[in-house]
Amino acid sequence: MTQPPSAVSVRESGTGTPLVLLHSFPLDASMWSAQLDALPGPTGHGARVLAPDQRGFGGTELGTDEPSLDALADDVALLLDAAGIGRAVLGGLSMGGYVALAFARRHPDRLAGLLLANTKATADTDAARANRERIAAAVLARDSVQLLLDEKMAAGQLGPDSGHLVDRVQGLIAAASPAAVAWAQRAMAARPESLDVLAGLRVPTAVVAGAQDGLIPLTEAELMVRASPDAELTVLPGVGHLSALEAPEEFNAAVGRLLERVAG
């Protein structure tokens, strides 16, 4: 059993179909501001949008569990319990997508739909795991996330037309705690392949990819679509890794189509 953090921060707006959005690494739930504003609105799709800060990020405590995406997935189940929600559409971007896949493995009966954006269902390579451990060890040793800024993580996550977002993303990265960054890196490094999870799902699934995503290639999105019995792929031209920030209107349109499929 995981021990949920005693303090959890959640942003919420709207009524209707429950939609839980899980943020990317190493940002927080404020990255979903455009979705919280638009999806529940009068021209939206009647969604009750919940965007939690995941462990250690934003206003949520890290807790005492060892690094594990399963712990984050179970946190989502507890969030649904606290909100009185039985089943929800679950969406995640990048790390959030990894958590959504872990949730689908552990709590499939609570899924009404699945949104996977700029993420992948394959496990890390040995080189990727080693790099995650390098970052985790460094930020803990220095008690600082400056390494992420020095390595231009913000610019690396954005497409060529999204330079106006660099300062915003840098600010979110700078606000992350070293302990949360290290914990999340180690949790992601340990994740298993999840293509089998997708193959077993029987809920509408939306896969969103940025055509200019330099971190996760389009082939990963195509793998997830092929593995899923009921998936639709949306590729956003000119968009990098942070599609919800870079192209919010197009991203929200893809979410809206998923919500319509769930309702139908």
Domain count, the chain: 1
Tell me the C-alpha distance between 33 and 166, whole Å: 16
Structural domain includes residue 207:
yes
Beta-carbon neighbour count of residue 81 at 10 Å?
A: 11
Q: Is 115 helix (H, G, I), strand (E, B) or coil?
A: strand
Structural domain includes residue 145:
no
pLDDT tens for residues 37-50? 999 865 456 899 99
pLDDT at 43: 47
Tell me the C-alpha distance between 120 and 109, whole Å: 22
Tell me the C-alpha distance between 16 and 46, whole Å: 5
CATH of the domain at 228: 3.40.50.1820
Structural domain includes residue 178:
no
Strand-pairing partners, residue 91, are 21, 115
pLDDT at 146: 97
* Helix or strand run (H / E) with residue 17: strand 17-22
Beta-carbon neighbour count of residue 196 at 10 Å?
A: 11
| Residue-number span of the structural domain to which 229 is assigned | 10-123+192-263
**Side by side, which strands form the sheet with 17-22?**
10-13, 47-52, 17-22, 88-93, 111-117, 205-210, 231-236
Structural domain includes residue 157:
no
Structural domain includes residue 185:
no
Structural domain includes residue 20:
yes
Question: Can you list the residues of the chain whose pLDDT is less than 70?
Answer: 1-2, 41-45
pLDDT at 2: 66
Q: Is 46 helix (H, G, I), strand (E, B) or coil?
A: coil
pLDDT at 5: 80
Structural domain includes residue 134:
no
pLDDT at 6: 72
Structural domain includes residue 130:
no
